Chains A and B, each alone.
Chain A
Amino acid sequence: AQSVTQPDIHITVSEGASLELRCNYSYGATPYLFWYVQSPGQGLQLLLKYFSGDTLVQGIKGFEAEFKRSQSSFNLRKPSVHWSDAAEYFCAVGNTGTASKLTFGTGTRLQVTL
């Protein structure tokens, strides 16, 4: 069964500092990987996705993520964090079966200090 681990429950960074959120996945085949962001009381917004090809993917809002098959990781990065980036971030793996279900990690809450 597929699974996702986000080892950091809560991260605090200063505005302007760099950010890396960790994600490890378990999936038998080449995974479809996603990062979503959720503001309080809101739904999920897709930041970026990886299916194949270039292992460094660019997303919206200046985010990027790197797929490392050898480490089963898909870490999210941003070179300079803005206060508006404070939110909950979810990593997810999608299966390629009929239902195309997503399995999410438990999320990392990002706090940005000014």
Chain B
Amino acid sequence: DTGVSQDPRHKITKRGQNVTFRCDPISEHNRLYWYRQTLGQGPEFLTYFQNEAQLEKSRLLSDRFSAERPKGSFSTLEIQRTEQGDSAMYLCASTSNLGVSGGYTFGSGTRLTVV
């Protein structure tokens, strides 16, 4: 297992376009998280899945954002009608059913630039 994979690594899009990112967690991890990191800040929690169920969403996750994890394996994060304020690094992490005590494994992130 090579850890948490995120694709693409970089995405440049025009304002108003839709974008989709993918995250492949560690295979035996049933918990998956999305975080957003803007320049000069620490990562901020967006949403959390346990298996295929999305159990919590942050207020940061506006109605333009949607995340799925259809089979409890990989996850996608879609942003519709992108805005310049969406420019950030989007990080995915996974952990086992131990939760935070088991430790998070982060992917390398997808850097989104909205022009």
Instruction: Please tell me if the beta carbons of B42 and A106 are within 8 angstroms of each other in the complex.
Output: yes
Q: Which chain B positions have C-beta within 8 A of A104?
A: 42-44
B107–chain A nearest beta-carbon distance, Å: 5
Q: Mask for B93-111, Cβ within 8 A of A = 1, else 0? A: 1010001110111111101
Number of residue pairs across A and B with beta carbons under 8 Å? Answer: 70
1/0 per residue, CB under 8 A from A, across B12-45: the answer is 0000000000000000000101010000111111
Bound-complex Cα distance A46 to B56 (A): 24
Q: Does B74 contact A (CB under 8 A)?
A: no
- Taking A43-B107, A43-B109 as contacts, is the C-beta distance between A99 and B43 under 8 angstroms? no
CA distance A4 to B93 in the complex (A): 20
Chain B residue, CB-CB nearest to A93:
B100
A36–B93 Cα gap in the complex (Å)? Answer: 13
Given contacts A43-B106, A43-B107, A44-B91, contact A100 B100 (CB under 8 A): yes
Interchain CB contact under 8 A, B56 and A99: yes
Q: Tell me the complex Cα distance, A113–B43, Å.
A: 27
B43 contact from A41, A44, A96, Cβ within 8 A: A44
- The answer to whether B55 and A98 touch across the interface, beta carbons within 8 angstroms, is yes
Knowing A42-B109, A98-B56, A99-B56 touch, does A92 contact B103 (C-beta < 8 A)?
no
Report the count of interface residues on A (CB-CB < 8 A): 27
A98-B9 Cα distance, complex, nearest whole Å: 30
* The one of B91, B99, B103, B109 that contacts A49, using a Cβ cutoff of 8 Å: B103
Q: A32 an interface residue at 8 Å Cβ cutoff?
A: yes
Please report which residues of chain A, range 69-106, place their CB below 8 angstroms from some CB of chain B when the two chains form the complex: 90, 92, 94-96, 98-106
Partner of B41, one of A32, A98, A103, A107: A107
Q: Give min CB distance, A70 to chain B, whole Å.
A: 23
**A107: chain B residues within 8 A (beta carbon):** 40-42
Can you report 20 residue pairs joining A to B where beta carbons are below 8 Å apart?
A43-B108, A44-B43, A44-B106, A45-B106, A51-B101, A94-B100, A98-B55, A100-B48, A100-B100, A100-B101, A101-B45, A102-B35, A102-B43, A102-B45, A102-B104, A104-B43, A104-B44, A106-B41, A107-B41, A107-B42
Q: Which 3 A-B pairs have the closest CB atoms?
A: A104-B42, A100-B99, A94-B100
